[in-house]
Amino acid sequence: MRVATYVLVHGGCHGSWCWDKVAPFLKAKGHIVETPNLPGHGRDKTPIHEVTLQACVGKVSEIIRAHSEPVILVGHSIGGIVISQVAEQIPERIELLVYLTADLLKNGESLEPVLESFRPLLDFSEDKSSFSIKSESVADLFYNDCSPGDVERAKALLVPEATAVFKEPLHLSDKQFGRVPRVFIQCLRDQTIPPQLQKAMYTATPCAKVFSMNTGHSPFLSAPEQLAACLLSLAD
């Protein structure tokens, strides 16, 4: 069995902690697993005004370049725009892109429309540079099928998200981004990125394979073994 390197990129407001239940399954099969904190997330203390899409891309790219072989790059939720932009910049270092109920956007698109659609559920900072999910909305939005213990731990670890990341358009090309194979893992009970929107994205930007999980937005908490099985199958 070959040894694969997985780089798992978390979504908005989260951190590397969200992969704590998944990474052990991958490591148990002998694979290498990287779970970086994006700038301003988890234990990374980058000031929120310095958190940009390119800063996130730079962090992930640095980790990938430290490995001699191409990696399997996984992005959850808005981590999807990060992995897409990484693929545009260093496609030769990526074996496969995996979108875990993630934003799979086209060239020139940004997440600004998403930000506007969720505005009633958000609390913005005074200068509008960041936002948090309203406490009463978090469980239903992110963790509708998770255990109470996982919900409470996650809520305690969430951090504000930089609005700048949502406003930056992607710069993608067929020559770079388009040469990296893509896989989509759709979550059929997701209330953050509804299944119909997931399907619209992976139909508009076709993927070589689509997995389906009967989970909400956070299968790394509610179904970690099943998610790990999907990811492990990609290394075969």
Residues 92-104 have pLDDT tens digits of 999 999 999 999 9
Which domain does 229 fall in, by range? Answer: 5-233
d(CA 158, CA 220): 15
Q: What is the arithmetic mean of pLDDT over 194-199?
A: 98
Q: What is the arithmetic mean of pLDDT over 116-138?
A: 95
Query: In this structure, what CATH number is given to the domain that contains residue 201?
Result: 3.40.50.1820
Number of domains comprising the chain: 1
Identify the H or E element spanning 99.
Answer: strand 94-100
31: pLDDT strictly greater than 80: yes
Q: What is the arithmetic mean of pLDDT over 214-236?
A: 97
Angle between helices 135-142 and 148-157 (to 10 degrees): 120
Q: Backbone phi, then psi, for 130, in 5-degree steps? A: -150, 165
Identify the H or E element spanning 187.
Answer: strand 182-187
d(CA 95, CA 204): 21
What mean pLDDT, rounded, does the chain reach? 97
pLDDT for 1 equals: 67
Residues 164-189 have pLDDT tens digits of 999 999 999 999 999 999 999 999 99
Tell me if 207 sits within 8 A of 2, measured CB to CB.
no
Look at the pTM and tell me if it is higher than 0.85: yes
